[in-house]
A and B are shown apart, each in its own frame.
Chain A
Amino acid sequence: MSAGAYVRGWLDERFGWEQLVYPLRKKTVPLHRLSYWYFLGGITLFLFGIQVCTGILLLLYYRPSANEAFESVKYISTQVQFGWLVRSIHSWSANLMVFTAFAHMFSVLFLRAYRKPRELTWVSGVVLLFLALGFGFSGYLLPWNTLAFFATKVGTDVAGQVPLVGHWILIFLRGGEEVTGATLTRFFGFHVAVLPGIATVFIALHLGLVQKFGISVPPRVEQEWREKPEARREMKFFPNFLLREMVAWYIGLGALAALAAIYPWELGAKADPFAPAPAGIKPEWYFLFAFQTLKLVPSKILSLDGEVLGILAFGLVGGLWLFLPFLEPRRFNRGYRVLTGAGAFALTYIAAMTVYGWVAR
């Protein structure tokens, strides 16, 4: 008996291993011309795993206080063996994870994988995307450098504009009226405890729902398969699809290694709360579209504050986006086109405003 078979037998005897992994063995992945989009979710999960591992390593040296944060990150980057690599991979994989999460979301939207019965899978996925943005926002401040300091100031100022509860949110986020060491400690708590805890629950829910409902087949492919049943093809999730997914993970790991080695994440200058904000300060790329939009909104719209209206509009769109599957018009034929059109518009808008924000002074 091989060692593997012995271990499996041992686990089966005690925990009913075969019963546990049975759903995985039975799970299949539809095989068609658009199957490659299925890899995006797995790549996002892989990058999240990288985040967790590198984040834990960074925690060994990072010190979350205004006096020590910058110095500790500098120490990690210059003195700790491979510290620069760990920090660079953490930063790059965070950005790639946000990118793949966005790509995964739009692929789900355009392939209409949110359809009944997978509405809650969509909702949990969008919550995870929002959490990823929260991870990005809270983690950006942690090196306590000039750019991060002022980006956080601007970001929390925006949150403070929300009518009625804005000031409360601002105080809650900053731990006071201004961005200080209290903000840093708070963001550290969000980044390493609160958000990971919530994210773990939602990842488990998301994966559980994927497991429960299986992988969605695009309606057009489904139609083709109905008309031509012999064209229906699928592969086993384990090991066939998982091995392919691993190939994608390896490629992602290679890209991460190349980015980290050739473009190590820079540290910048230590934050000085008394210094003026540097000219042309911008948030991280995934907030640029919102930032640029708020910059373009007129200060007054029908005697109402333009920025407040912009923030409310983003809040409304975010809320609608969360419950998108429930908004698909079902009364008329091809009502899904409304959502597909909205998705295409959102994608174009985000891409265009991001580029505009990037090149704008």
Chain B
Amino acid sequence: MKKLIIRTIACMLLLTAAGYAADKNTCIDCHSEMDKPYQVTAAEFSQNIHAQKGLTCTSCHGGDASSDSDAMSRRAGFRGHIDRKQVPELCGSCHSDAAKMRQYNPSLRTDQLSQYRTSVHGKNLAKGDTHVAVCTDCHGIHDIRPASDPRSNVHPLNVANTCKRCHADADYMKDYKIPHDQFAGYTASVHYKALTEGGDLSAPTCTTCHGNHGAAPPGLTTVENVCATCHVFQAQLFQQSPHEKAFAAMGTGGCITCHSNHRITHPTDTMIGVTAAAVCTNCHAAGDAGLKTAQDISLDLAKLDKAIGDSRDILDRASHSGMEVSDPQLELAQAGDALTKARVSVHSASSEVVSQNTAAGMKIAAKTQQAGVDAMKAREYRRKGLLVSLLTILIAVGGLSMVIRSMERGNAQG
């Protein structure tokens, strides 16, 4: 019996020691004590998605973290610092392996490395330019988080700031002969506002148009076609318009000719027409047919916009007066929809197409305007009715007072 107890205790001690050895991470033991850039703390590494999926330092750096002696041993496969040129291949060794990735995240794409090789970054790296971005520049090194994590460098809200680190640095970008004002332009854009102020995480950021790993988003050949992925109707109308061929001949690209590329501000009706603010005047000269079309479109839009505004004003006044006008107010929203459709149809560069939409909106606006006028008339009718009622009540009160007085005078005399 005594022997059995001793053996049991010995087994327990051995198992405990084995478990301790397995949990031991000599990399973190040393690197947590080091200064930056060699410092990696256990807390920092625990936030890493790879650590959370069960990978360790040795998964990338090799060696044997459980052994003090073999931790940095070449025999144990220790690779040490990963050269920038080798980073995409190292990451791709797992991320391009569909069978391996299935164990961790079956929904994750496995074409990042092949896409990266098609990108300017990948091509330049292949040429030996180590200035370009590799995986770790965007995703981080020891603090890699999934893109869905708001703390990740590649979360939609942080992508622009991540790209900006290089692309807004004039000094860093001077050898590449490309502008470095993209970030300044983008932060003034309607897309940036939608993303940051509107909280719409599907709003475009750098990678939406330029692709994240490849040169263009998946399924697209060039960045010029990217607007159509969201702005489908505008693109279809543009393709049927005379502008498509003209812009192609001018070599100015499609959408960006009028809307610019990064500084895409909220489009207004002033963008079309014959004024200096209108983009049409950038190409069309006074007297040409194109400018006449632009003027017609501009006038049509302005007319409907005014009709909707007038209708809204009178309905608001009626509503504030307590009149029930929720139905015409709802109907007026349809006139607003027609105006939106008309604004979209501007991309056809056809005054007929635009006027079809504005005509539908004008019809609704006229009807709701009439409803507003009728409501205001009803309000006046009510107020006149009130005046008559109050006068009647006043007369009745006066009459009653006289009856009371004459009755009580009679009683006093009687």
Chain A interface residues (CB < 8 Å from chain B): 74, 77-78, 84-85, 239-240, 243-244, 246-247, 250-251, 253-254, 257-258, 261-267, 269
Contact = CB atoms under 8 A, between A and B. Distances in A.
Contact of B390 (A247, A254, A269): A254
B324 A84 contact: yes
Contacts, number: 55
Do most interface residues of chain A lie in helix, strand or loop, or is the interface mixed? helix
B326 A267 contact: yes
14 contacts: A74-B324, A74-B326, A78-B327, A84-B324, A240-B404, A240-B407, A247-B401, A253-B393, A254-B390, A254-B393, A257-B389, A258-B390, A261-B383, A262-B386
A198 B389 CA distance: 34
B175 to A, nearest CB: 53
Contacts of A244: 404
A265 B323 CA distance: 9
Contact of A250 (B322, B393, B404): B393
Nearest to B322: A264
B400 A77 contact: no
Interface string B84-107: 000000000000000000000000
A56 B324 CA distance: 22
B386 to A, nearest CB: 4
B382 interface: yes
Interface string B372-384: 0000000000110
A254 B392 CA distance: 9
Nearest to A239: B407
B396 A250 contact: yes
**B324, B396, B401, B407: most-surrounded residue (chain A CB, <10 A):** B324
B390 A257 contact: yes
A266 B322 contact: yes
A213 B89 CA distance: 102
A269 B80 CA distance: 67
Nearest to A263: B322
B140 interface: no
Contacts of A254: 389-390, 393-394
A15 B12 CA distance: 107
Given A85-B382, A267-B324, 20 more contacts: A74-B324, A77-B324, A243-B400, A243-B403, A247-B400, A247-B401, A250-B393, A250-B396, A250-B400, A251-B397, A253-B393, A254-B389, A254-B393, A257-B390, A258-B386, A262-B383, A264-B323, A265-B322, A266-B324, A269-B326
Contacts of A74: 324, 326
Contacts of A246: 400
A84 B381 CA distance: 13
B218 interface: no
Interface in B310-362: 322-324, 326-327
Contacts of B401: 247
9 smallest CB-CB distances across A and B, nearest first, come from: A264-B322, A261-B386, A254-B393, A77-B324, A261-B382, A257-B389, A78-B324, A250-B397, A243-B404
Contacts of B267: none
B385 interface: yes
Contacts of B327: 78
Contact of A247 (B322, B326, B382, B397): B397
B44 interface: no
Contacts of A85: 382
B111 interface: no
B408 interface: yes
Interface of B: 322-324, 326-327, 382-383, 385-386, 389-390, 393-394, 396-397, 400-401, 403-404, 407-408
B11 to A, nearest CB: 50
B387 to A, nearest CB: 9
Contacts of B382: 85, 261
Nearest to A243: B404
Nearest to A253: B393
A267 B324 CA distance: 8
**B327, B389, B407: most-surrounded residue (chain A CB, <10 A):** B389
Nearest to B383: A261
B278 to A, nearest CB: 40
Contacts of A77: 324
A226 B188 CA distance: 87
Contacts of A263: 322
A114 B382 CA distance: 44
Contacts of A84: 324
Contacts of A250: 393, 396-397, 400
Given A250-B396, A254-B390, A257-B390, A262 B404 contact: no
A10 B202 CA distance: 86
A18 B265 CA distance: 88
Contact of B408 (A240, A251, A269): A240
Nearest to A83: B324
A258 B387 CA distance: 9
Contacts of A267: 324, 326
Contacts of B404: 240, 243-244, 247
A267 B322 CA distance: 9
Contacts of A258: 386, 390
Nearest to A248: B397
Nearest to B327: A78
Contacts of B385: 261
Contacts of B383: 261-262
Nearest to A254: B393
**A85, A253, A263: most-surrounded residue (chain B CB, <10 A):** A253
A84 B378 CA distance: 11
Nearest to B396: A250
Contact of A262 (B322, B403, B407, B408): B322
A247 B399 CA distance: 10
A258 B322 CA distance: 13
Nearest to B319: A266
A153 B154 CA distance: 43
Contacts of A257: 386, 389-390, 393
Contacts of B324: 74, 77-78, 84, 264, 266-267
Contacts of A243: 400, 403-404, 407
Nearest to A266: B322
A4 to B, nearest CB: 15
Contacts of A240: 404, 407-408
A215 to B, nearest CB: 18
A289 B407 CA distance: 46
A77 B390 CA distance: 22
A258 B383 CA distance: 9
A253 B386 CA distance: 11
